[in-house]
Structure 1
Amino acid sequence: MATLALIVLVALALRPPVTAVAPLLEAIQRDLHVSAVFGGVLTTLPVVCLGVFAFVAPKLRQRFSDERVVVGCLVVLVVGNAMRAVGSAVALLAGTVIAGAGIAVANVALPGLIKRDFPHNLPVVTAAYTVCLTLGGAMAAGTVVPLGQALGSQWRLPLGSLAVPVVLALVVSLFALRHTSGARAAAIRPAALRRSPLAWQVTAFMGLQSLMAYVVFGWLPTVVQSRGLSPETAGLLLGVQATIQAVGSMAVPVLCRRLRDQRLIAAGVAVVTAVGFTGIVLAPAPGGVWASTVVLGLSQGAAFGLALTLFGFRSPDSDTTAALSGMAQGAGYLIAATGPLAVGLLHEWSGNWIAPLLFVLAVCAAQFGAGLLAGRPLQVDSVIRRVTPR
């Protein structure tokens, strides 16, 4: 129970530093007198950090236990969130990098922890973890603007306040740490894992569904405002989409019980994601946009939950799960970082949302193919050897 509480509380704290920026971006740009380029960097930087720092996580697991790594990540998150509240452009960027590093390492450690302690309930516990991730992100996206108005601060105090749930998770995790063995992870040779085609297929599915997620995080409010909806409604839609993802995540364990492998689920979520985004761009407003947002939230929640579940399903043990998680999230989030930038460039070039839509449909087609391969009932190559750490 201590480990499950740790997983839940940490999951609630991991998404807000990422999702809270978009609703506050206009206020940040206006207050700091920075360009749209700075805004693009600020929204893309967390995704890049999730990719870059994910590669560090396996080494940390080999030196410390998963629980100690997660507690360290929470400390880093508190520091990063506090720095962003300082208010300068430099502190905002530096705090974002620090917070992104903490999130990236925790993202990698937690799937291995779930595989180690809940091997027979992997889809259910992973779904709980995913639901808490999405709910934490949704609550932050929907509350930072009203919170700023209540506190009389445009963006500094709302961003700084994100440290509060992290401190709570940190206090509880210190109690959970007392009940752990403190055993370190075994070392997985990265070169061997990179020789596995299945590992790359899981990585591709993770990266492509993440790319879609960050396109939506970054551009959904702008797209729906171009369809005639108000800025307030646009922010509400983003919060609704993030909340609905929790429902999609909860569907993954049910579907996994009914199907021998995950190919049909992976292919289905790619198709439904394409339908949902197409509706947001082309369906009649406002009703069609609202309906399409719900559809998109369901499919993206299921895709994210499935991607995390695949780390455990495609691995024979918890150490391999964490290594695969590090590889898939490291490379996957670097892939994802290109999405918001590509959509912005295509929109600026074309002056409409048709070109970005075609790009999104191509990404969904690639996700469909990757899902058919990653969803097969296989595990990464047994030639991967574990070396006991010194």
Structure 2
Amino acid sequence: MTDRKTTAAVATLVLVVLVALALRPPFTAIAPLLDRIQQDLGLSTTFGGMLTTLPVVCLGVFAFLAPKLRQRVGDEKVVVGCLIVLLTGNLLRAAGPVWALVGGTVVVGAGIAVANVALPGLIKRDFPSQVPMITAIYTVCLTLGGAVAASVVVPLGQALGSAWQLPLGALALPVLVALLISAFALRHASAARPEPISPGGLWRAPLAWQVTVFMGLQSMLAYVVFGWLPTIAQSRGMSPGLAGLLLGIQAAIQAAGSMTVPVLCRRLRDQRLIACGLAVLIATGFVVIVLGPAPAGIWIGTVVLGLAQGAAFGLALTLIGLRSPDSDTTAALSGMAQGTGYLIAGTGPLAVGLLHDLAGNWLAPLGLVLVVCAVLFCMGLLAGRRLQVESVVRAELTTVP
């Protein structure tokens, strides 16, 4: 690797790490502050639930913009632009009125959605032979950023003497730091412009849909945990404080889980065994939490879920890069998989809540989760094969040598 390429690769890695640390806090910080937000603004529980669901919908809707944007201005400029959008959204949410809170959430969701899609293309372009490892670094930073924000946002509000406005506004600070440092990445950005792409063929490719459904279902199960784990734990006798801690621990453990992906990928010829094993572990974690002895079963199930879901998220992002022959196809497949995938994911927490209300217990939602895990297992068998989708630049189906 030449000095120029080495410098560009280092700049890309710095950009990936900084952006990843800034992407999750705007989402994870809302839940701990939601009660105070509802009290101060007089919002209903339904409206509060909308605030937690809206970002997921934005991740799906705005993800489809990313491939065209990167084609117009290049990868690095798209990501830096997302930081500017994210900074604006965080400040808008902290302004106070309901319209600013909702509008800022949409703006934040748009910036995160486009960055989510663009970053796998950057990784594939500058680290084509190290996709699992660099993706693992990216997912660890995502997870840690979200876990830290969820843990400090309430104490920060108490220290600042503000119920929720200043803590939400403080989330703009790491974004601002990332934006300033990202100037280094722009100076060393690749001079190559992305190829003109025609990603329509991906929507007719079975392998692309298999990757997309795998992405969507593992995200769905993750958002079920984010939305309902504390409630399930409380229904089994755990205190609200411990139930909240349980979710924070689960999120932190995901970082360790995501780091197992590159190790496993190096040892195995393809990713089928990894994907199927993770589907089984996720199902096991849910079963132990709902049916195992309390409280020991809840803690054990939470650890299993944290490790498995962290690895599953890392694997889903890794598959986007491994199933693509070039960075342009990676960006297009990333847009399809994350756009459609997050729209699929948004239905999970709602369906679990409806089933619980109808059945009056957690057995019916557990049945739905196990069905989703079974489909995830099947998608893992298909998406984990050592194949690549048709290139959006040159139309061909290739097998990885």
TM-score bin (small chain): over 0.9
Work out whether 1:360 is the aligned partner of 2:369: yes
In structure 1, C-alpha distance between the alignment counterparts of 2:372 and 2:311, rounded to whole Å? 17
Structure 1 residues 311-390: aligned runs within 5 Å: 311-382=320-391, 384-385=392-393
Matched residue, 1:266: 275
Distance 1:218 1:82 in 2: 25
For structure 1, which segment, 219-228 or 181-190, has the greater mean C-alpha deviation from structure 2 after superposition?
A: 181-190
Question: Is the Cα–Cα contact under 8 Å of residues 246 and 301 in structure 1 kept in the other structure?
Answer: yes
Distance in 1 (alpha carbons) for counterparts of 2:93 and 2:191: 33
Moved over 6 A (4+): none
Q: How far apart, in 1, do the equivalents of 2:60 and 2:174 lie? A: 24
1:169 aligned to which of 170, 173, 178: 178
Q: Is the 8 A contact 1:67 1:182 kept in 2?
A: no
Question: Residues 344-374 of structure 1, C-alpha deviation per residue, up to 9 Å, x if partnerless?
Answer: 1112222221121111111111111111100
Distance 1:26 1:229 in 2: 20
**Which residue of 248, 252, 255 corresponds with 1:239?**
248
Contact 2:195 2:393 survives alignment (8 Å): no
Residue 85 of structure 1 contacts residue 156 of structure 1 at CA under 8 Å; is this kept in 2?
yes
Q: State the SS of the aligned residue for 1:260.
A: coil
Give unmatched runs, 5+ long, in structure 2.
1-9, 396-401
Q: Quick one: which of 21, 25, 28 aligns to 2:34? A: 25
Residue 203 of structure 2 corresponds to residue 194 of structure 1: yes
- Measure the CA separation in 2 of the matches of 1:102 and 1:386: 30
Is residue 51 of structure 2 the alignment partner of residue 42 of structure 1? yes
3-state SS, counterpart of residue 163 of structure 2: coil
Secondary structure (helix, strand or coil) at the match of 1:238 reads helix
Rounded to whole Å, the distance in 1 between the matches of 2:193 and 2:111 is 19
Secondary structure of 1:184's counterpart equals coil
The 5 A counterparts of 1:202-217 are 202-217=211-226
User: Does 1:225 pair with 2:227?
Assistant: no
**Which deviates the most, 210-219 or 140-149?**
140-149
The CA distance in 1 between the partners of 2:28 and 2:367, in whole Å, is: 25
Alignment partner of 1:293 out of 297, 302, 310: 302
Q: Which residue of 1 aligns with 2:94?
A: 85
Structure 2: distance between partners of 1:119 and 1:306: 16
1:76 is matched with which residue: 72, 85, 108?
85
Greater mean deviation of Cα atoms: 109-118 or 341-350: 341-350
Per-residue CA deviation, residues 2-22 of structure 1 (Å, 9 max, x unaligned), is 111110010000011111112
Among candidates 277, 284, 303, match of residue 275 of structure 1:
284
Matched with 2:62 is 53
- Deviation of the 1:290 alpha carbon: 1.2
The yes-or-no answer on 1:99 pairing with 2:108 is: yes
Per the alignment, residue 136 of structure 2 pairs with 127
**TM-score normalised by the chain length of structure 2:** 0.94
Please, what is the CA RMSD of the aligned residues? 1.3
1:132 corresponds to which letter in structure 2?
A: C
Q: State the shift of 1:182 in Å.
A: 4.3
* Distance in 1 between residues matched to 2:224 and 2:192, nearest whole Å: 39
Normalised to the residue count of structure 1, the TM-score between the two structures is 0.96
Deviations 1:295-349 (A, max 9, x none): 1000000000000000111010111011100000000000001111111111222
Q: CA separation of 1:151/1:283 partners in 2, compared to 1, >3 Å: closer, same or farther?
A: farther
Number of aligned residue pairs: 386
Give the Cα–Cα distance (whole angstroms) in 2 for the partners of residues 296 and 362 of structure 1.
16
2:194 to 180, 185, 199: 185
Letter in 1 for 2:166: L
Counterpart of 1:99, as a letter, is V
Separation of aligned partners in 2, 1:87 and 1:349? 36
8 Å CA contact 1:188–1:386 kept in 2: the answer is no
Is the contact made by 1:189 and 1:386 (CA closer than 8 Å) also made in structure 2?
Answer: no
Task: Select 2:316's aligned residue among 307, 316, 323.
Answer: 307
Quote how far apart the aligned CAs of 1:79 are: 0.7
- Measured at CA, do residues 226 and 150 of structure 1 come closer, stay the same or move farther in structure 2, by a change above 3 Å? farther
Question: Structure 1: how far apart are the matches of 2:50 and 2:314?
Answer: 27
* Residue identity in the other structure for 2:327: S
CA contact (8 A) 1:22 1:218 kept: no
Unaligned runs of 5+ residues in structure 1 are none
- The offset of 1:188, in angstroms, is 2.3
Distance (whole Å) between structure 2 residues aligned to residue 355 and residue 57 of structure 1: 38
Letter in 1 for 2:211: V
The 1-side partners of 2:286 and 2:146 are apart by: 20
Whole-Å separation in 2 of the counterparts to 1:346 and 1:35: 21
Structure 2 CA distance, aligned partners of 1:203 and 1:82?
33
Q: For 2:229, what is the secondary structure of its paired residue?
A: helix
**Rounded Cα–Cα distance in structure 2 between residues aligned with 1:341 and 1:273:** 19
The structural deviation recorded for 1:386 is 5.4
Q: Distance in 1 between matches of 2:367 and 2:31?
A: 23
Give deviations 1:201-250, integer Å, cap 9, x for gaps: 00000000011111111111222122222222122111111110011100
- Does the Cα contact within 8 Å between 1:64 and 1:183 map onto a contact in 2? no
Q: Is the 8 A contact 2:328 2:393 kept in 1?
A: no
Opposite residue 138 of structure 2, the aligned amino acid is Y
Cα pair 2:57 2:342 within 8 Å, conserved: yes
CA distance in structure 1 between the aligned counterparts of 2:191 and 2:243, rounded to whole angstroms? 46
